[in-house]
Amino acid sequence: MKTTIDNTQRQFLIINQGFGSTKNIFCNLQNIPFILAEYFEPNEEYKIYEYWNRKLKQVSKKFLKELYKANQINPLNIIQTIDINAYEWFDKVNGNSYFSASVCLNYGLNTSKTIILPFQYGYGDFYKQSTFEALIEANLIHDVKKYESGGNEGIYNFCQRNKITLRTSKKENCKKAELKNI
């Protein structure tokens, strides 16, 4: 792993904890969220140290949050784009619509990830809501606003608030077999 260090800014060392391969990555503050997303598994343990005067000092999560806030860094903004490609089939016999979708996070980037929403009931723009719920359940997005009524904000509002590019498309009049093969 190669990182470019700006020596005029604070430097940090991220070290993984546990068995297996060792990862020691030096970086600047703004690169920490990306490195954690790109090179560490979601449940992998790690420690972050600040490198100052040739000494390492462990950084607490609270202090790291304060640094993010002071430097206007959103650690949750690891996702840059969400691309949803949905396919819809209409069951003429029973009058129901079904869909399946392919969701790509960070299209074209090293941290790109694809999620498949399997064949399920839904019509109109329901595929967007289902995608949003799947991303929340997979713990891929955080900081979703909750309402007093028990609901969440929609995917459009979430993306707008977090400066994430949202692109959606839906192909209608597909065959049932096409949806099952996604």
**Rounded average pLDDT over 133-147:** 85
Amino acid identity for residue 2 in this structure: K
- Looking at residue 96, its pLDDT comes to 93
The residues near 74 (Cβ < 8 Å, ≥ 6 apart) are 68, 162
pTM for the model: 0.63
State the Cα–Cα distance between residues 176 and 91, nearest whole angstrom. 9
**Rounded average pLDDT over 61-83:** 81
pLDDT digits 0-9 by tens, 123-139: 999 999 999 999 988 88
CB 135 within 8 A of CB 141: yes
Please provide the size of the chain in residues: 182
Of 5 and 153, which is predicted with more confidence? 153
- % of residues, the chain, pLDDT over 70: 93
- Looking at residue 140, its pLDDT comes to 83
pLDDT digits 0-9 by tens, 19-32: 767 888 888 887 88
Whether residue 1 is predicted with pLDDT greater than 60 in this model: the reply is no
Structure tokens at 158: 């979430």
State the Cα–Cα distance between residues 97 and 91, nearest whole angstrom. 6
Whether residue 120 is predicted with pLDDT greater than 80 in this model: the reply is yes
